[in-house]
Amino acid sequence: MCTLDGCGSHEHLGPPPKATDEDRRLFLKGAVALPLAVILADPMLAHAAGSTLEKVTITTPEGDAMMAEIAMPATLPAPTVILIHEWWGLNDQIRAVAAEYAKQGYIALAVDLYGKPPATTPDGAKALMAGLDPVAATRKLQSSVAFLRNHKDSTGKVGSVGWCFGGGWSLNTALATDIDAAVVYYGNVKKTPEQVATLNAPLMGHFGTLDKSINKEMVEGFEESLRIAGKSDYQFYWYDADHAFANPSGGRYDSEDAMLAWERTMAFFDQHLG
């Protein structure tokens, strides 16, 4: 168990580095690599990176179908990771992150729990989230885990990661399946001891001290539920940052903390999936 407070400093909050016209031209030609934050902050670059994914269909035993997109690493077989989108839906930013996971050696499956075009406004995102059937979403994620575990190029190891809305669903995936590791970025972790009794996967969480929705009270309540349920294989990190601090396309992006959370996540997956 690990809980760290005050990782990083809010003084480095600011806009992500921007690609120059020459950077953009060379990246689109495939002649240069750019930092993930630069790609995610630039709609054109994010779209280009995300366009490398291939569409797949995940079908549940009940016959429900979900579209997803998959990115393959250069070396196979490989461990696998499910990426669960923010409340906006599956957009180019999440696709681009999946492409980066593939570069890091993972088969990356970006799921689309909404099955609708992504939102571009908070009201649109709220409507998409309100229309989600949690039972159907759980079944789709269970089928996604089975899809990856049985994929011909998979090592059989499966992890999950999600942000915001997707962070909560990354936790839900760990509660409803036998995945090997789960990462939550500032997602809803309000759970009772009875609900976390099914958690067997190692868990990592990234949270911001300035986050008013996924706040200390919620996370500490979650820790208490884990303690009561006898769960100890988790690491929670606190950053002097706000909600969505890892999203370079948003106004609360924190470059240093985003990089630190990324490095911790990669090390965590390397340990449990590699």
pLDDT by position in tens, the chain (length 274): 333 433 333 444 556 678 999 989 999 889 889 999 999 999 999 999 999 999 999 999 999 999 999 999 999 999 999 999 999 999 999 999 999 999 999 999 999 999 999 999 999 999 999 999 999 999 999 999 999 999 999 999 999 999 999 999 999 999 999 999 999 999 999 999 999 999 999 999 999 999 999 999 999 999 999 999 999 999 999 999 999 999 998 889 999 999 999 999 999 999 999 9
DSSP 244: T
- pLDDT of the residue at 253: 94
CB atoms near residue 268 (< 10 Å):
19
Q: Rounded to whole angstroms, how far apart are CA atoms 249 and 253?
A: 7
Whether pTM exceeds 0.85: yes
Query: How many residues make up the chain in this entry?
Result: 274
Q: Rounded to whole angstroms, how far apart are CA atoms 135 and 172?
A: 11
CA distances from 209 to 85, 99, 223, 269 (A): 22, 29, 16, 24
- pLDDT of the residue at 29: 87
Q: What tokens does 194 get?
A: 């009875």
For the chain, the maximum distance between any two Cα atoms, rounded to a whole number of angstroms, is 55
Contacts 24+ apart (CB under 8 A), 20-27: none
- Residue-number span of the structural domain to which 47 is assigned: 2-273
CB atoms near residue 217 (< 10 Å):
9
Give the domain CATH number at 46: 3.40.50.1820
Q: Which residues are CB-contacts of 179 (< 8 A; sequence separation ≥ 6)?
A: 82, 145, 158, 159, 160, 173, 201
Q: Which residue type does 122 have?
A: P
Phi/psi of residue 168, nearest 5 degrees: -60, -40
- pLDDT of the residue at 10: 41
- pLDDT of the residue at 17: 72
Phi/psi of residue 175, nearest 5 degrees: -80, -25
Q: In what order do the strands lie in the sheet with 203-208?
A: 2-7, 234-239, 203-208, 181-185, 154-163, 78-84, 107-111, 65-71, 54-59
Angle at CA 259, nearest 5°, toward 145 and 85?
Answer: 35
- pLDDT of the residue at 1: 38
Number of domains in the chain: 1
